[in-house]
Amino acid sequence: MPRGEHNRKLSAETWQAVVSEYLTPLPDGTWTGMDTLARKYGVAQNAVYYHVKKAGVPTRNAREAHAHGKRCKPVTNLPPADESAPACKCGCGAAVAWNRRKNVWNLYVTGHYRPEQLYHSAEYLQREYVAKHRTTTDIASEFGVEPSSVIKAIGRAGIPMRSQGESLRLSGASRGANNPAWKGGTTPERQRIYRSQAWKRSVRAAYLRDGYTCQRCGATKQGYRSLHAHHVRSWAEHPGLRLDMDNLVTLCNRCHVWVHSLANIDGEFLA
């Protein structure tokens, strides 16, 4: 085909003939493919695809179609001839489309997956989320949905999400003594002690005593901070034992996390 010839326009009648030829079976029971039709009529293959879809004709999938002008197999996975399209499950009454990939009727019309709810309204979100500073979790619990659904609605409404810091500042629920991980404000003191030479000597002595080996699983030192000095009696509740080598035990990173987790139901390495 000469260069640029595939850009020529065809009349509406010719396109009807192209679509009809796409639908007409050949004597051997196969069909003419889009690539063959495109070369025959001197147009681009995607133009044939566009007009076939525009006419509402089901197109062949990858298994049914063959490249390089080979003849095609018949279109399969079509809805049963004796069945009519069921109504959308949202209750709108519209008929759903047939899903050829799954070979079933869709349950919903496109865009009708979830019925319209109040939290979808931009006006509602401006009032509740922006003006009243309600959290997405609070709004979601009101409607019995997940917070992610409210977050999506906020995004569709074009409302900027609050940062984590701003959310904490507004709620105040996770700051200071209200936080479940609150340790009595010992963080600055902990940092000061961890930088001290006395702490470093205690840790080094505990590591030497334990042979630089995790006392739970037997793992040895594998790299920087692969071993931890764990306080058997807690840091917050026993300040006098923070530097006591007898209160320290060597654990690997994984075991140290496990000891402080809910999985440690027997309280191993805790006193």
In the chain, where does DSSP find H-type helix? 12-23, 34-41, 45-54, 122-125, 136-143, 147-156, 164-171, 187-194, 197-209, 253-259
Which DSSP helix (H) or strand (E) runs through 250?
strand 248-252
Measured distance CA(250)–CA(270) in Å, rounded: 13
pLDDT at 271: 82
User: What tokens appear for 123 in the block?
Assistant: 């006006």
Residues in the chain: 271
The whole-model pTM stands at 0.35
Task: Report the largest interatomic distance among the alpha carbons of the chain, rounded to a whole angstrom.
Answer: 95
pLDDT at 158: 92
Q: How many separate helices (H) and strands (E) can be counted in the chain?
A: 10, 4
pLDDT at 108: 87
Measured distance CA(250)–CA(210) in Å, rounded: 7
User: What tokens appear for 129 in the block?
Assistant: 């989320």
For 222, how many CA atoms within 13 A lie in the half-sphere containing its CB? 8
User: What tokens appear for 233 in the block?
Assistant: 């009696």
pLDDT at 215: 92
Which amino acid belongs to residue 22? Y
Give SS3 for 210.
coil
Mean per-residue pLDDT pooled into runs of 10, the chain (271 residues):
54 90 80 84 89 87 59 70 87 87 86 79 91 87 86 92 75 56 64 87 91 91 86 88 90 90 87 82
Q: Which residues pair with 95 in a beta bridge?
A: 87
